[in-house]
Amino acid sequence: MKAALVIHSKTGTTLAFGKAIEQALQKEGIETELFLLEFDSPHGEDPFSEEKDVILKDIPDCLPYDCILAGSPVWAFSPTPVIRAFLRKAKGLSGKRFYPFITMGLPFKGWGGTRALRAMESIARTKGAVSFKGEAVMKRGRNLEKQMQSAAEGIAKRIKNNA
């Protein structure tokens, strides 16, 4: 089995979570490739909300993979416009198993995390992907590293077991 992890991360937290997931997948014997999205926007380094302002430098092709994982920070209770732009433009998502993952600042998944995961699943489904339960980690009031480790092991096991 081959999995692609496609990630947007502004300050590195979502990338760290993606790397923990990648390691856990490899421990389960799953081949992985990690793509960190790069883009231009009229807003420079500032966060923004409109997908139309995202000019992706590269759009990873999903065709060679059995399973696609997409990672995003939560921005204003949503996935970032960068990961949304990737999902809308991605080729080869049809029929693929799709797992979203997010990182967020607020302490409860219900405060934007669940909504962001669902939004990613919903776009992936419009591209013909079959979506599975994603994972969220929260920064405030928790041990982030422990959360990442446990969520990474959980998602890797589910991917291995087709669940």
Ligand X SMILES: Cc1cc2nc3c(=O)[nH]c(=O)nc-3n(C[C@H](O)[C@H](O)[C@H](O)COP(=O)(O)O)c2cc1C
Interacting residues toward ligand X by CB under 6 A: 9-15, 47, 73-77, 103-106, 111-112, 139
Q: Which two tokens stand for residue 17?
A: 């979570």
Burial class of residue 144 in the structure, from the number of CB atoms within 10 Å of its CB (0-12 exposed, 13-18 middle, 19+ buried): middle
Shortest Cβ 89–ligand X spacing (Å) = 20
SS3 assignment, position 90: coil
What single-letter amino acid sits at 26? Answer: Q
Inter-residue contact 1 to 63 (CB < 8 Å): no
Between 46 and 163, name the residue whose CB sits nearer to ligand X: 46
Shortest Cβ 49–ligand X spacing (Å) = 8
Between 77 and 132, name the residue whose CB sits nearer to ligand X: 77
Shortest Cβ 63–ligand X spacing (Å) = 26
Between 32 and 72, name the residue whose CB sits nearer to ligand X: 72
Shortest Cβ 132–ligand X spacing (Å) = 22
SS3 assignment, position 77: coil
Displacement of CA 42 from its chain's centroid (Å): 23
Report which secondary-structure segment, H or E, holds 75. Answer: strand 67-75
Between 62 and 137, name the residue whose CB sits nearer to ligand X: 137
Between 75 and 97, name the residue whose CB sits nearer to ligand X: 75
Displacement of CA 156 from its chain's centroid (Å): 14
Shortest Cβ 7–ligand X spacing (Å) = 8
